[in-house]
Amino acid sequence: FITSERGLVFALTEGGSSASTITISDTNKSLPGVAATPDGAFVLVTDATDNVVHVIDASTNALVDADPQTAGVNPIALPENSSLRDVVVAEVENPTDVYAFVSGTGGISVIDLNIAGSSFQQPAVIDFNDGGADDDEDDPLPMSSAPGLLKVSGDGYVYAAASNASI
């Protein structure tokens, strides 16, 4: 899967002999990050223009509705993080589930993808700054500097590269 600045994602066949076009938007969008779930069933695309993550069913190349409670095909909204950059997906053992980690200027947003078999359920964005009370905001994990690229290790650790970061 390859993204463009024109709101398009291209799904290449194995060997690259043909490609399908998936339209995220009819207008220009910054789509800097792409990651697949461990089983390859779904692909996540970060949208830095709208601060959302689009979900694509890799078998049909169709956009997946991440919020069936709302009309239309909705992406995963990350309003508390901005200028989204990278996305990685990791299967975590405790609690067992598949999570997406999305970097942006607000830090790292963590999304429980709620994948049941080959079915995509409504995802849950984890809030890292409730202060003990649910404030209906999904604050990202803050960092001392805006993270850029993310990498996930084989044992489930997520690493973030950030310029001007402090430890």
> Other C-beta atoms within 10 Å of 152: how many?
18
Q: What per-residue confidence (pLDDT) applies to 42? A: 93
Rounded to the nearest angstrom, the gap between the alpha carbon of residue 22 and the centroid of all alpha carbons in its chain is: 16
Rounded to the nearest angstrom, the gap between the alpha carbon of residue 131 and the centroid of all alpha carbons in its chain is: 25
Contacts of 38 (CB under 8 A, 6+ apart): 89, 90, 91, 98
> Other C-beta atoms within 10 Å of 166: how many?
7
Q: What per-residue confidence (pLDDT) applies to 148? A: 82
Residues in the chain: 167
Q: What per-residue confidence (pLDDT) applies to 117? A: 66
Q: What per-residue confidence (pLDDT) applies to 47? A: 95
Q: What per-residue confidence (pLDDT) applies to 93? A: 73
Buried b (16+ CB within 10 A) or exposed e, 102-127: bbbbbbbbbbbbebeeeebeebebeb
Q: What per-residue confidence (pLDDT) applies to 166? A: 53
165 has pLDDT over 70: no
Q: Which residue has the higher pLDDT, 40 or 93?
A: 40
Q: What per-residue confidence (pLDDT) applies to 131? A: 58
The average pLDDT across 100-109 equals: 92
Q: What per-residue confidence (pLDDT) applies to 167? A: 47
The average pLDDT across 11-36 equals: 89
pLDDT digits (tens, 9 = 90+) for 53-104: 999 999 999 999 988 888 989 999 998 898 999 999 998 776 668 899 999 9
Q: What per-residue confidence (pLDDT) applies to 126? A: 85
pLDDT digits (tens, 9 = 90+) for 113-157: 987 766 777 888 888 875 555 556 788 888 777 788 899 888 778
